[in-house]
Structure 1
Amino acid sequence: MKLLLVEDDRSVATAVSAILTQHGFEVVHARTGGAALQALLSNGVDSFDVILLDVGLPDHDGYEVCGKIRRRTETPVIMVTARSDVRSRIHGLNRGADDYVVKPYNTGELIARIHAVSRRNVPPSGGEVRHESELQFGGVRIELTARRVSVAGTAVHLTRKEFDLLALLAQRPGIVFRREQIISEVWESRWDGAERTLEVHVASLRSKLRASALIEVVRGVGYRLRAPSA
């Protein structure tokens, strides 16, 4: 997933970029509103999956930049600001923002919000969200509509939760899903006390798919699906 980070503070941008890169995002950084608009032109207006836009920019008001971005593309925009009052949030949403994050924010929540807004948007050509009814990763074939999985042509029986977990990871290959997010989306539950449940299901999937490298652990963060050839 390709993300445009518009942030004038270099130290903040460096820290956020490092975290997002660790989670599998490709980050392009722009320090000003003008640089952000130029990045859209040079990369292509629909080349980014999400835009993180700081309100306090040195050359333009962030709300103004958001409006200009929205006139050029439907790419989801998350506004990031220290302003927590309702009026500011409403103004940002009215200018075309899809979500609003107040500093200081939890990075886990930020990443969850990025995933959430990107799911609402039809991805551009080449985007990493996979909406095919059938997905193929090496010898592993996943039929999403029929809820069937096969390995080298042989059907593999998965439990409902095992299939849901695999399908979630498979639709965003290479992107790291935090443990909390997986529990929330697959089990529709809170993370508290669910770590062992998730570990057991991942281990079972690896065994049944006979592809231990397909589901990769990102230590201290979560899991991602990686094709064997990656």
Structure 2
Amino acid sequence: MGAVPQAPRTRVTARVRDLRFDAGSLSLNLVATVGRRPVAPVERMGDVERLGAWCRGVGLTPAPGCAGEALLRSLHALRDAAFDIASSVLDGHRPSPASIALVNELAAFEAPVARLEWTPEGVRPAPGSLPLTEDALLSVVARDLAGLVSDASRRERLGMCASESCRMLYLNPAAGRSRQWCSMRRCGNNAKAAAHRRRRADGNSWRRDDSSC
């Protein structure tokens, strides 16, 4: 059996532990609460306080008494299943039957009544308009994942960050070019800076070699 690939050694800074809300869908934002999958995982939603921050960030409002350890554990389980299923679209592996069964079980719960809101970008659903029970909240996330992977147009837009120390899953916009990085401000800029350093190092090496001739 081959050796497990190792991610580049990088520091786990506060920014690496930041919650991400730019994956392009609710379920992928949940998957993004673990950074640097799969070889050097960084937990970004490890306690109830971070759970509350994530719910606010994605616009979900848990009903009073629901945003506790039980919901955190359930979201962690759904997160693992969502990563297993979504990543299978990209690499072709067969998702675990347990992952599919969990998503189906959670999605079967009756969804809350849909509500709309107006934003500068136009009309959109407002999933956090009403407080959600644990079952309802999990159902909203599970249904988002099911809709993503069952819709051919959305499935084709699924991508993975090219950075070996990131590998975040994200949904490319419906219009425009597919992007290589999860974010140009993060991994894109890091890659550009690394390439610049390599070019400088190669140039310095060439000058040293030339001077020795």
TM tier relative to shorter chain: under 0.3
More strand by percentage: 1
Q: Which has the higher contact order (CA 8 A, sep 6+)?
A: 2
Q: TM-score, normalised by structure 1?
A: 0.22
Query: Larger C-alpha radius of gyration, 1 or 2?
Result: 2
More helix by percentage: 2
